[in-house]
């Protein structure tokens, strides 16, 4: 399968820093003889440390986002995925638009009309996806701003 840029942007630890795919995880040890392979819940390896909460998380299960990381993620998604969508629009508008409806015979009139409508629909769909991408980035920025404001307002001040 090919290189999936969107998957790398969304799932890599630092989206803007490393556009290369993440390395594959190492192979897991074989299952003990008493358990069926591939079934059940995997148990941690004997020397592995117990799972820990993220650095900003509280013991109550609270989810905490680092506002600057959230903003950087939104900007990286908009930049990288936006470039992919713009490239797709460019490719759609070059070659397929060159075939005009009059290139079809008189017997293919309905095909000619359907062809032009499909090209226009795909173009409008890509435009809408770019708008949604910008909206997604704006929402990530607002979430970061809300997280920052909540942290600021919930912090006790030292001198009263």
Block means of pLDDT (10 residues each) for the chain, length 160 residues? 68 56 46 46 50 56 80 94 94 76 70 83 94 95 92 78
DSSP string, 56-97: T--TT------HHHHHHHHHHHHHHHHHHHHHHHHHHHHHHH
Enter the pTM of the model: 0.53
CA neighbours within 13 Å on the CB side: how many for 158? 0
Give me the pLDDT at residue 39, please: 46
Closest CA to 6 of 62, 85, 70: 85
Give me the pLDDT at residue 61, please: 67
**The Cα angle at residue 134 between residues 131 and 138, in degrees rounded to 5:** 135
Q: Are 67 and 147 in contact (CB under 8 A)?
A: yes
At 107, is the secondary structure helix, strand, or coil?
Answer: helix
Give me the pLDDT at residue 93, please: 84
């Amino acid at each position: 399968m090919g290189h999936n840029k969107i998957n790398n942007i969304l799932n890599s630890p630092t989206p803007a820093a490393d556009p290369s795919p993440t390395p594959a995880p190492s192979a897991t040890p074989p299952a003990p003889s008493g358990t069926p392979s591939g079934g059940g819940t995997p148990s941690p390896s004997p020397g592995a440390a117990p799972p820990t909460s993220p650095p900003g998380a509280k013991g109550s299960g609270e989810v905490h986002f680092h506002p600057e990381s959230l903003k950087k993620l939104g900007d990286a998604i908009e930049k990288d995925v936006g470039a992919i969508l713009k490239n797709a629009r460019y490719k759609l508008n070059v070659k397929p638009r060159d075939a005009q409806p009059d290139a079809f015979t008189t017997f293919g009139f309905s095909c000619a009309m359907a062809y032009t409508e499909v090209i226009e629909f795909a173009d409008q769909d890509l435009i809408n996806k770019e708008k949604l991408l910008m909206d997604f980035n704006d929402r990530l920025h607002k979430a970061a701003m809300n997280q920052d404001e909540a942290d600021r307002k919930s912090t006790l001040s030292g001198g009263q």
